[in-house]
């Protein structure tokens, strides 16, 4: 193993590269903001383009009813007025519409600023909690993680969902009720909470399970009270159409930006059914591995990392901007390195995880499926399981 003296030059280099990457991301966002919003350059990328859809939906819901957000008749004029060139559908449940509704009462610029600032605030608050006690040399790469700049650049909700998931995991052994509330917040994007019930059952976290179930019901009920039942009927009608057009038949416009096994199958010419089968070959073992670690009460870092990894592997449809979630297994495995030092191959996989959001973004904009994420995530889950098994194999040998 290299000595600390030998590691220091490598740490200094990684710090320099990380800070340089962070500076490039901030500079790029600043230039795009100035060009689009202050210089009126419509050829520049629109920072917050997806938030423009959220804000438009909030305005349409207040003016014409929540069910109208699923109609291009009402959404398209609002989106075009903000600078979007084409119609972008609203594929989110009414729970998310309820969450963004207050932003529709603000001017777009103010709403975008507050939304972005709040996203950064909750994201970095959760990250700061997870970073307690780890080597300070790891902080610059974590701060420069490209998934954050991508989420801010698009105005996506991934900073909020990863913050909710991370806060739930951080509280799960400290405050069961609060952990359940944070899990319920994932109802804004329910597919990202799909494995929490299995993890809680396997981990015998009954109070967290009960509070999260109740909180989800209350959240959904509040959306019915505020937005009406028609919003849920419209969502249920629209979702299969969106799944067929954007996911199953997405083509080169969608699949390159979907770092999933399903999209990989469709990109290489497999049928829809065959692609789902390929996806299941990866997703089912991932969920079982996660369940095993929670049932075995593995170290918190390994259990939590497995839940995040399996959640991403379970999704036939996630987009490159959702990869902000990868910050959690990154920092969790760095924390677990205090128990058992990370090996060279493990660091290489973590480096690939760090690069994955930028690489997936490149794949999306080149319209070529170049994603490495499915293979990287499988390797990462193998590392997590192996670290648990290595620990349990050592324990009996240490006993008298």
Q: State pLDDT tens for residues 188-202.
A: 999 999 999 999 999
The average pLDDT across 218-242 equals: 96
pLDDT at 7: 54
pLDDT at 227: 97
326-373 confidence digits (pLDDT tens): 999 999 999 999 999 999 999 999 999 999 999 999 999 998 888 888
Q: Give yes or no for residue 207 having a pLDDT over 80.
A: yes
* Residue 8 within a domain: no
Q: Give yes or no for residue 396 having a pLDDT over 80.
A: no
* Residue 12 within a domain: no
* Residue 36 within a domain: yes
- 3-state SS of the chain is CCCHHHHHHHHHHHHHHHHHHHHHHHHHHHHHHHHHHHCCCCCCCCCCHHHHHHHHHHHHHHHHCHHHHHCHHHHHHHHHHHCCCCCCCCCCCHHHHHHHHHHHHCCHHHHHHHHHHHHHHHHHHHHHHHCCCCCHHHHHHHHCCHHHHHHHHHCCCHHHHHHHHHHHHHHCCCCHHHHHHHHHHHHHCHHHHCCHHHHHHHCCCHHHHHHHHHHHHHHHHHHHHHHCHHHHHHHHHHHHHHHHHHHHCCHHHHHHHCCCHHHHHHHCCCCHHHHHHHHHHHHHHHHHHHHHHHHCCCCHHHHHHHHHHHHHHHCCCCCHHHHHHHHHHHHHHHHHCCCCCCCHHHHHHHHHHHHHHHHHHHHHHHCCCCCCHHHHHHHHHHHHHHHHHHHHHHHHHHCC
End-to-end CA distance of the chain: 29
* Residue 14 within a domain: no
Q: Give yes or no for residue 398 having a pLDDT over 60.
A: no
Q: Give yes or no for residue 4 having a pLDDT over 50.
A: no
* Residue 186 within a domain: yes
Of 68, 65, 58, the closest CA to residue 105 belongs to 58
The average pLDDT across 96-119 equals: 97
pLDDT at 286: 98
Least confident of 103-112, 129-138, 206-215, 391-400: 391-400
* Residue 396 within a domain: no
How sure is the predictor about 392, in pLDDT bands with cuts at 50, 70 and 90?
A: confident
Cα angle 172-175-176, degrees, rounded to a multiple of 5:
60
| Boundaries of domain holding 159 | 19-388
Q: Give yes or no for residue 388 having a pLDDT over 80.
A: yes
pLDDT at 11: 65
pLDDT at 324: 97
pLDDT at 399: 42
Contact yes or no for 103/115 (Cβ under 8 A): yes
**Domain total for the chain?**
1
* Residue 5 within a domain: no
pLDDT at 8: 56
* Residue 355 within a domain: yes
pLDDT at 57: 97
Q: Give yes or no for residue 12 having a pLDDT over 60.
A: yes
Of 336, 342, 340, 338, the closest CA to residue 301 belongs to 336
């Amino acid at each position: 193993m290299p000595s600390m003296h030998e590691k220091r030059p490598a740490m200094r280099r990684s710090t320099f590269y990380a800070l340089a990457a962070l500076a490039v991301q901030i500079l790029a966002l600043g230039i795009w903001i100035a060009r689009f919003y202050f210089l009126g350059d419509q050829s520049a990328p629109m920072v917050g383009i997806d938030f423009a859809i959220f804000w438009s939906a909030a305005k349409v819901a207040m003016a014409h009813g929540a069910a109208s957000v699923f109609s291009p008749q009402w959404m398209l004029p609002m989106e075009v007025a903000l600078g979007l060139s084409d119609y972008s559908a609203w594929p989110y449940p009414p729970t998310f519409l309820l969450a963004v509704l207050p932003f529709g009462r603000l001017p777009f610029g103010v709403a975008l600023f507050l939304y972005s600032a709040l996203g950064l605030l909750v994201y970095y608050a959760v990250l700061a909690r997870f970073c307690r006690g780890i080597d300070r040399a790891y902080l610059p790469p974590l701060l420069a993680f490209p998934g954050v700049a991508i989420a801010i650049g698009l105005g996506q909700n991934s900073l909020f969902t990863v913050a909710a998931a991370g806060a739930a995991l951080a509280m799960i052994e400290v405050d069961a009720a609060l952990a359940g509330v944070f899990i319920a917040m994932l109802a804004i994007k329910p597919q990202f909470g799909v494995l929490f019930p299995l993890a809680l059952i396997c981990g015998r976290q009954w109070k967290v399970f009960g509070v999260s179930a109740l909180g989800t019901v209350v959240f959904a009920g509040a959306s019915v009270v505020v937005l009406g039942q028609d919003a849920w009927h419209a969502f249920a009608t629209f979702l299969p159409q969106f799944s067929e057009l954007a996911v199953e038949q997405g083509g080169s416009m969608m699949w390159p930006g979907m770092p999933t096994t399903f999209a990989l199958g469709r990109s290489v010419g497999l049928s829809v059914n065959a692609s789902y089968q390929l996806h299941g070959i990866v997703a089912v073992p991932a969920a079982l591995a996660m369940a095993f670690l929670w049932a075995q009460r593995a170290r918190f870092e390994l259990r939590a990392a497995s839940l995040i990894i399996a959640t991403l592997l379970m999704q036939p449809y996630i987009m490159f901007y959702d990869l902000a979630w990868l910050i959690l297994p990154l920092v969790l495995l760095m924390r677990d390195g205090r128990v058992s030092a990370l090996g060279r191959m493990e660091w290489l996989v973590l480096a690939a995880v760090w690069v994955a959001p930028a690489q997936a973004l490149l794949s999306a904009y080149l319209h070529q499926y170049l994603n490495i994420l499915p293979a990287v995530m499988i390797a990462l889950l193998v590392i997590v399981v192996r670290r648990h098994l290595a620990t349990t194999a050592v324990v009996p040998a240490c006993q008298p």
